[in-house]
Chains A and B, each alone.
Chain A
Amino acid sequence: AQSVSQHNHHVILSEAASLELGCNYSYGGTVNLFWYVQYPGQHLQLLLKYFSGDPLVKGIKGFEAEFIKSKFSFNLRKPSVQWSDTAEYFCAVNAVSNTGKLIFGQGTTLQVKP
């Protein structure tokens, strides 16, 4: 069965620190990969996605993620976080098929201290 694992459950950083959130998945076939963000009091929003092509994808608000197929990983990065990045971040995987089913990781709560 497919699964998604996010390594960090709760991360606390100071402003301007660099961020890397780990995400690994288990599935042997072709996948699409997503990072979603949920800001306090808001609904889930797409941060970035990878379908094919350049494994380094850039999303909104200065976030990027790198797909490393050999490691089954899709880690999220940002060189310098801001207080407004405080949110919960979810990695999700979708096996390329017609079902559209998304498998989510457990989520990582990021707290950025001003």
Chain B
Amino acid sequence: SAVISQKPSRDICQRGTSLTIQCQVDSQVTMMFWYRQQPGQSLTLIATANQGSEATYESGFVIDKFPISRPNLTFSTLTVSNMSPEDSSIYLCSASKETGSDTQYFGPGTRLTVL
């Protein structure tokens, strides 16, 4: 398994600002992912964070809005840019040891409120 931590755990931000969320894994992992869980809804994959290359975004998510970095095999960041109240969600990082269809382990999430 993998133990994942995220910072910050929660934040309240003003409209138009940006927030960077950090995700740290306790061991090297092959795959890292970012999900969004909007109030009362399920988890939706935003993107796959690729080490050493640009992230792979899902339909409906773009790099300008959600830039992602992954400088090494244990760390990734997600930035929520130019925030609006609609971005209020829980953002979760996950990781899996192997490529493909391995089990994903999740971080505790970052609860973001945009005023």
Contacts and interface: CB of A to CB of B under 8 A. Distances in A.
Interface of A: 32, 34, 36, 42-46, 49, 51, 90, 92, 94-107
A92 B101 CA distance: 12
Nearest to A1: B59
Interface stretch (B16-24, B41-49, B79-87): B41-49
Interface of B: 31, 33, 41-45, 48, 56, 58, 92, 94, 96, 99-109
B33 A100 contact: yes
A43 B108 contact: yes
B45 A101 contact: yes
28 contacts: A32-B101, A42-B108, A43-B108, A45-B106, A46-B105, A49-B103, A90-B42, A95-B101, A96-B100, A97-B100, A97-B101, A99-B48, A99-B56, A99-B100, A100-B31, A100-B96, A100-B99, A100-B100, A100-B102, A100-B104, A101-B45, A101-B48, A101-B58, A102-B94, A102-B104, A103-B45, A104-B44, A106-B42
Contacts of B43: 44, 90, 92, 102, 104
A41 B60 CA distance: 29
B92 A102 contact: no
A34 B45 contact: no
Contact of A100 (B44, B101, B106, B109): B101
A105 B41 CA distance: 9
Contact of A98 (B41, B92, B99): B99
Contacts of B45: 101-103
Contact of A94 (B56, B92, B101, B109): B101
Nearest to B31: A100
Nearest to A36: B106
The 10 closest A-B pairs by CB, nearest first: A43-B108, A44-B106, A104-B43, A104-B42, A32-B101, A94-B101, A98-B100, A100-B31, A106-B42, A96-B101
Nearest to A6: B42
B58 to A, nearest CB: 8
Nearest to B44: A104
Q: Which of B33, B96, B100 has the most CB of A within 10 A?
A: B100
